[in-house]
């Protein structure tokens, strides 16, 4: 199901926009790590966090990149969040110096689950909705709770009827 729900506004993000916003996130995080400003590693929350984490780790010149797989939605239907794959335990410790990146925080359930495992990590998302804000340490753009964000990897260019040609 890719149509937005009736009560929701659609916020369509292009590849260019997510690239710019992910870069802005990286620049905001630069020099903010606990070890003289340095970060130990980047961890992407898959799958949506992988593109922003790739862009941020490139900007910050961090080559240690791991993933945590959390599934909390089936398309637009929320279910209970589950960890399907954990990152390297020796790397993570309690999360100190680890930059955990996701594309967005919505209800905050995903970050809450990951935060419980790595309480000392820094949590960063590109976009944030109000309910999830308490779970995120750094983000770039806030959108209203009733906005559904459409990411470029979930969309395709398609023909649109001219305005005049519509019924
Ligand atoms: O704050 P929450 O309400 O938990 O929602 C945010 C999470 O939901 C989406 O992931 P999803 O579980 O759909 O998986 P995906 O990243 O593989 O698309 C999104 O990428 C975030 O990770
Ligand atoms: O607004 C959203 N867009 C895409 N995926 C999501 N997962 C939770 N909220 C959203
Ligand atoms: Mg996700």
What are the backbone dihedrals phi and psi of residue 83, each rounded to the nearest 5 degrees, phi first? Answer: -90, 115
Length of the chain: 167
What are the pocket residues of ligand 1 if the criterion is a CB atom closer than 6 Å to any ligand atom?
A: 45-48, 71-73, 81, 102-110, 132
pLDDT, position 71: 77
Q: For residue 69, with 0-12 CB atoms within 10 Å meaning exposed, 13-18 middle and 19 or more buried, which class applies? A: middle
For the chain, list the domains and their CATH numbers.
17-165 (3.40.50.2020)
Q: What residues contact 28, with CB distance under 8 A and at least 6 apart?
A: 138, 140
pLDDT at 4: 62
Is residue 95 left, alpha or beta, with left meaning phi > 0 and alpha meaning psi from -120 to 50?
A: left
pLDDT at 75 over 70: no
Active-site residue flag, 30: no
Mean pLDDT score across all residues of the chain? 93
The reply to whether 154 belongs to the active site is: no
Q: What is the ipTM of this complex?
A: 0.99
Among candidate residues 102, 137, 146, 167, the one labeled active-site is 102
pLDDT of residue 166: 63
pLDDT bin (cut points 50, 70, 90) of residue 6 is low
Q: Is the pLDDT of residue 120 over 80?
A: yes
Instruction: Specify burial of residue 58 (Cβ count, 10 A radius: 0-12, 13-18, 19+).
Output: middle
User: Catalytic residue at 106?
Assistant: yes
Q: Which residue has the higher pLDDT, 6 or 150?
A: 150
Task: Give nearest CA residue, ligand 1 atom 5.
Answer: 106
The pLDDT of residue 8 is above 80: no
């Amino acid at each position: 199901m890719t149509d937005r729900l009736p009560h929701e506004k659609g916020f369509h993000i292009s590849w260019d926009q997510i690239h710019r916003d992910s870069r802005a996130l990286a620049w905001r995080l630069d020099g903010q790590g606990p070890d003289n400003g340095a970060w130990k590693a980047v961890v992407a929350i898959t799958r949506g966090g992988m593109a922003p984490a790739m862009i941020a780790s490139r900007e910050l010149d961090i080559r240690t990149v791991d993933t945590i797989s959390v599934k909390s939605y089936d398309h637009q239907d929320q279910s209970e969040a589950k960890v399907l794959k954990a990152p390297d335990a020796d790397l993570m410790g309690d999360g100190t110096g680890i930059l955990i990146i996701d594309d967005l925080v919505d209800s905050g359930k995903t970050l809450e689950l990951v935060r419980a495992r790595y309480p000392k990590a820094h949590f960063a998302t590109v976009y944030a909705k109000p309910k999830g804000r308490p779970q995120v340490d750094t983000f770039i753009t806030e959108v209203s709770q009733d906005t559904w964000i459409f990411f470029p990897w979930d969309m395709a260019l398609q023909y649109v009827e001219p305005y005049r040609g519509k019924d």
